[in-house]
Each structure stands twice: as C-alpha cells, then as structure tokens.
Amino acid sequence: MKIDYHTHHDRCGHARGTLRDMIEAALAAGMDQLGLSDHIPLFFQPGDHPAPGMTMAQSEFPRYADEMVRLRAEYAGRLDIRLGVESDYMPGWMERYKGIFAAYPLDYVIGSVHYFEGRHVFDRRRWEEDGADPLQTFTHYIRLVQEAAQCGAFDILGHLDAVKGLGFLPSEPLTALWDETVRIIAERDLVVEVNTSGTRKPARAWFPSTDLLERLHRAGVGFTFGSDAHSPAELLHDWEQVAEFLQGIGVRQLAAFRNRKREMVPLVR
C-alpha cells in the first residue's frame, strides 16, 4: 500500500494548498491511504492565535476537524482518508491535550518536539544568535523525545531526530542516549514515522537517520511513512527510496491507524 500520514495545509499559516488540494494530489498519485495531520493550535500559549505563521487558531480547530470528516465522507470509495493531527510535546500540558484529542474523531496523533529552550526546533537563531552548544542541545532534545514517548498521548512519534535538521551536529554521536531512547520507544510500543522532510532542509537526510531506523527495527519498533508535505507537490516525497530501504532491512509492513488503533498494512513499492 502507498500511504502518507504526515501532511499539512494552508490553515497552519506556513503551508500551501487546502485539504481538498492534498486529497486530489493523493488521488492523482494513486495512493491507497492519506492521513491529514495539520499542526494542533498552541494551546499552551495564551490567546486564540499566538503564532499565526505556525499553527491554526484555537477557534479554528473544530472547523478543521469538521472539514476532515466531511471530506472523508465525500471521497469514500475513492481514497481512504484518515483523520489526524500533529501535536507538540509540551511538559506539563499533556493531560489537557489528551482531553482535547478525545473530544474529536481522530484516527491518530503524531507527537513531535517542536519547542524547547525558548526556540522552535528549526529556528536558526538557536545556533547563529544564541550560540547553543550542540552537545547540550541535542541531549536536551533527546530527553524530551523520551518524555514524549512516555507521556501516553501519542500514537506516532514525529521527525524523531529533527534537531539535526539545520546541519549543526554535536561533537559526539550520543549513541548510548539514542539506544536508551530506542528502548523506551519499544517498551511503549509506539510507532516511529520515517519523515522525509529532512531532505528538504540543510541536513539532507531523513528523520530519523538510517542508522537509527535500523536500531529501531532491531528493537521491534514499527514504522509509518510521513512526507511532512507542506504543499500537494511534496506528497509522498522519497516514498520509493524509503520503501526500498525499509524492505532492505527486513520491514514488510507499515503502521496505519483507525480510531486510535493500529492496523498493519503491507509495504509495497
């Protein structure tokens, strides 16, 4: 099956195209299943719309859910549409977020570490103005990924090592810390997405790295695919390459979700 579970649209303020545009692109690409998963509003910040260029307003979220439901019904029989959201992991807020998720007919929730140390993970000012130490920053980020895996709010972990995205790397590979993270993810029985958006950033690499993908597979962790498309043209970005790599390390199925329950589907290029 050809699937893509990580997609964005114009509501978030930094993507192009509507939900319908993404669906039509999926049909044109011959996809079997499409996940719609725009950024959840910043419920951890005051005000209805504290970051217009990053996420939708809090008041817009019900309309987003309603539109997904309508489109799923409209395209039934032509495309299997799954309803999702990409959520921030924010310490101290996840019980509230769980309640928000439960109030909507979501099929899955992607959990990603976007904000830490006062910056977005892809904010260049962290490195160019703040002078962040890569070793300390990577360590802090990975610890937050571990917390995200343990919080019980998510079905999928998004862009697992995104902190490398802008090309700044620590002085050592932090192998032991990543091994600990792999163990936690496996114990929590979470799915990790193979997110190809890193190839569109200075890192020029998937999230997570191929080495980390192999370690996760050896630990029994399941995968899904996410292009992190911010326009219809980016849908299924690097799908063939990812499928080939995963098959090469022995992966035969990908994880899909319905009503927050995992369904395994065949990995076929």
Task: Output phi, psi for 54, to 5 deg.
Answer: -120, -40
Query: What percentage of the chain carries pLDDT values higher than 70?
Result: 100
Q: Which band of pLDDT confidence, cut at 50, 70 and 90, is reported for residue 61? A: very high
Q: Residue 66: helix, strand or coil by DSSP?
A: helix
Looking at residue 111, its amino acid is G
pLDDT tens readout for residues 141-182: 999 999 999 999 999 999 999 999 999 999 999 999 999 999
Q: Is the pLDDT of residue 268 over 90?
A: no
Q: Is the pTM of this model over 0.85?
A: yes
pLDDT above 90 for 89: yes
Residue 269 has pLDDT above 80, yes or no: no
CB 41 within 8 A of CB 97: no
Encode pLDDT of 102-144 as tens digits: 999 999 999 999 999 999 999 999 999 999 999 999 999 999 9
Q: Which long-range contacts (CB under 8 A, 24 or more apart) does 210-217 make?
A: 210/245, 212/160, 212/161, 212/178, 212/182, 213/245, 213/246, 213/249, 214/249, 215/178, 215/179, 215/182, 216/182, 216/185, 216/186, 216/192, 217/246, 217/249, 217/250, 217/251
Cα 88 to Cα 91: distance, rounded to the nearest angstrom: 10
Which residue shows structure tokens 């996760």?
216
Structure tokens at 93: 């807020």
For the residues 181-201, what does the mean pLDDT come to? 98
Residue 65 has phi, psi (to 5 degrees) of -65, -45
Confidence grade of residue 1 (pLDDT, cut at 50, 70, 90)? confident
